[in-house]
Chain A
Amino acid sequence: MIELIQKYGVMLLVGSWPHGQIGGLAATLILAFLGLALAFPIAILLGFARISHFKVLRGVVAGWVVILRGIPLIMLIFWAYFVVPLITGMSVSVFVTCLVAIILYESAFLAEIVRAGLQGLPRGQMEAARASGLSYWQSMRYVILPQALVNMIPSLVNQFVSTIKATSIVYIIGMEELTFAAQQINSIELTNALQTYLILAGIYFIVCLALSYAARLLEARIQKRRAGLA
């Protein structure tokens, strides 16, 4: 197994970069991070819509969230793979295809985190803001959002962890990332499938464990700050 790591470690980490396309763990992290980063602004809008006074808007967005959360990511990837070129008339790179699918998928999950963050604050905060003459959006901007965003940080890190794992299936449409690299190694070696996939699992595990730990640290720090100790 050590031999495998020595031989293919770089490939698992960065794919064929710098001679070719970036792949491996680096591509996995880039895909997950960009997916979440681009889904987040959409999720904030969806989150606001979810708590809006307009029934129709609330209903439409609730539908969006329920549907996207109710289907597997791979369906979205297939659809993006076949439908995006059909609609745009352009051939789209595998990376963009996967990114679009992940943004759509994560927007639904993040929207729920945003909604919970906005609604999780004591009602008195909004009331105090409105009572002082701030408009609804001013209250959101200066009073509710800054507090809600801090409260969301641990959930966002957790979502990052689950997104990293979820991206593993994009190798199916040929996106060069971590699982794809392991797949390649397996087809070169042929006899070491068990070890190869054990290494693959180990890499996912270490990365996700580290992130979960970071989330816990962050949460503890936020708790401390809220208690006025820091």
Chain B
Amino acid sequence: MIKLEKVNKWYGDYHALNDVTGSVAKGEVVVVCGPSGSGKSTMIRTLNRLEEIQKGDIQISGKSIYGPGVDINKLRASIGFVFQQFNLFPHYSVRDNITLSARKVGGMSVAQANALAEDLLNKVGLSHKIDAMPANLSGGQQQRVAIARALAQRPPLILFDEPTSALDPEMVGEVLAVMKQLASEGMTMVVVTHEMGFARDVADRIWFMDAGEILEDTTPQEFFTAPRHPRSRKFLEDILQRSVV
């Protein structure tokens, strides 16, 4: 479904992504972890071209997203993206947040789109909030609406960029539960997160990134019990220490 081939990106002199190579199969859940500044967010943002790359190639469903004649809007409509800061549209109701892309890009009728919104809100457990404005929702609720909004594009693939990092601790669980459910339904997901519990329980594979490189591409079991790279060992130690304190 996703294939990265020697992807390189620079911000000026700073080498943000260094020969990143990897692939995600259909239905797979890949959790990307690593210390901050390791290039995780940059990497996931290149997958729908929110960030451009300077070298290498990225293929989605067998087609290069940098190929000639690629319709960038069509490509993005086929990929769900969930942001750290939710980024709901504050001037629209929950319903309109969810249906906007379906109506304007997918060409869905208002009635169809509204039915879809009801359906998806049900799925994320917020059907009673359909007419609410985003400002009246808690962070966890906003993020669940954002997930419903991504689902409304009916994408075969959803990207999550630190979906729980901006949430109060007591709201992390409700968002992870929705993501877990999606994973169990066979959605292809790439998730940048620090939630190691989620990684252990849900991920099919873990990518450990540091300094713009993928240092480990392995199963959760191996990653958590026998990390090969010294930097992933240190990362896990730091994380464990923090959760104990």
* Shortest distance from the beta carbon of B51 to any chain A beta carbon, whole Å: 10
In the complex, are the beta carbons of A132 and B48 less than 8 A apart?
Answer: no
In the complex, are the beta carbons of A133 and B105 less than 8 A apart?
Answer: yes
Q: Which of B77, B85, B89, B90 contacts A133 (CB 8 A)?
A: B77
A-side interface residues, number (CB < 8 Å):
21
Q: A58 near B: Cβ within 8 Å?
A: no
Cβ–Cβ < 8 Å partners of A124 in chain B: 83, 85, 87
Q: B128 near A: Cβ within 8 Å?
A: no
* Shortest distance from the beta carbon of B106 to any chain A beta carbon, whole Å: 8
In the complex, are the beta carbons of B50 and A130 less than 8 A apart?
Answer: yes
In the complex, are the beta carbons of A226 and B90 less than 8 A apart?
Answer: yes
A57 CA / B134 CA spacing, docked (Å): 36
* Shortest distance from the beta carbon of B69 to any chain A beta carbon, whole Å: 16
* Shortest distance from the beta carbon of B168 to any chain A beta carbon, whole Å: 17
A129 CA / B76 CA spacing, docked (Å): 10
Q: A16 near B: Cβ within 8 Å?
A: no
Stretch among A34-42, A103-111, A142-150, A155-163 lining the B interface:
A142-150
Contacts A128-B83, A128-B87 given; does A133 touch B133 at CB 8 Å? no
Cβ–Cβ < 8 Å partners of A132 in chain B: 76-77, 81, 100-101, 105, 149-150, 153
In the complex, are the beta carbons of B50 and A135 less than 8 A apart?
Answer: no
In the complex, are the beta carbons of B87 and A228 less than 8 A apart?
Answer: no
Chain B 83-107 interface 0/1 with A at a Cβ cutoff of 8 Å (1 = within): 1010111110000000011001110
* Residue among B83, B87, B90 with max Cβ neighbours from chain A (10 Å): B87
A133 CA / B106 CA spacing, docked (Å): 9
A129 CA / B83 CA spacing, docked (Å): 12
Q: A227 near B: Cβ within 8 Å?
A: yes
In the complex, are the beta carbons of A128 and B89 less than 8 A apart?
Answer: yes
Q: Which of B74, B85, B91, B150 contacts A147 (CB 8 A)?
A: B91
In the complex, are the beta carbons of A226 and B135 less than 8 A apart?
Answer: yes
Q: A134 near B: Cβ within 8 Å?
A: yes
Number of A-B contacts (CB under 8 A): 67
In the complex, are the beta carbons of A131 and B135 less than 8 A apart?
Answer: no
A126: nearest chain-B partner, CB-CB = B87
A143 CA / B85 CA spacing, docked (Å): 16
In the complex, are the beta carbons of A127 and B83 less than 8 A apart?
Answer: yes
A127 CA / B84 CA spacing, docked (Å): 12
Q: A91 near B: Cβ within 8 Å?
A: no
Q: B73 near A: Cβ within 8 Å?
A: yes
In the complex, are the beta carbons of A130 and B76 less than 8 A apart?
Answer: yes
In the complex, are the beta carbons of B135 and A134 less than 8 A apart?
Answer: no
In the complex, are the beta carbons of A134 and B104 less than 8 A apart?
Answer: yes
* Residue among A125, A133, A227 with max Cβ neighbours from chain B (10 Å): A133
Q: A138 near B: Cβ within 8 Å?
A: yes
* Shortest distance from the beta carbon of A199 to any chain B beta carbon, whole Å: 44
Chain A 37-73 interface 0/1 with B at a Cβ cutoff of 8 Å (1 = within): 0000000000000000000000000000000000000
Q: Which of A134, A227, A228 contacts B101 (CB 8 A)?
A: A134
Contacts A127-B50, A226-B135 given; does A133 touch B87 at CB 8 Å? no
Cβ–Cβ < 8 Å partners of B48 in chain A: 131
* Shortest distance from the beta carbon of A81 to any chain B beta carbon, whole Å: 44
A127 CA / B77 CA spacing, docked (Å): 13
User: B54-79: which have CB < 8 Å to A?
Assistant: 73-74, 76-79
In the complex, are the beta carbons of B153 and A146 less than 8 A apart?
Answer: no
In the complex, are the beta carbons of A133 and B76 less than 8 A apart?
Answer: yes
Cβ–Cβ < 8 Å partners of B85 in chain A: 122, 124
Cβ–Cβ < 8 Å partners of B73 in chain A: 130, 133-135
In the complex, are the beta carbons of B87 and A127 less than 8 A apart?
Answer: yes
In the complex, are the beta carbons of A228 and B136 less than 8 A apart?
Answer: yes
Q: Which of A122, A133, A135, A150 contacts B91 (CB 8 A)?
A: A150
Enumerate 23 A-B pairs (CB-CB under 8 Å) in ascending A order.
A122-B85, A124-B85, A125-B87, A127-B83, A128-B87, A129-B89, A130-B50, A130-B76, A131-B83, A132-B77, A132-B105, A132-B153, A133-B73, A133-B78, A133-B101, A134-B100, A134-B105, A138-B104, A142-B100, A147-B90, A150-B91, A226-B135, A228-B133
**Nearest 5 Cβ contacts at the A-B interface:** A133-B77, A228-B135, A128-B87, A132-B101, A124-B87
A residues bordering B, Cβ < 8 Å?
122, 124-125, 127-135, 138, 142-143, 146-147, 150, 226-228
B residues bordering A, Cβ < 8 Å?
48, 50, 73-74, 76-79, 81, 83, 85, 87-91, 100-101, 104-106, 133-136, 149-150, 153
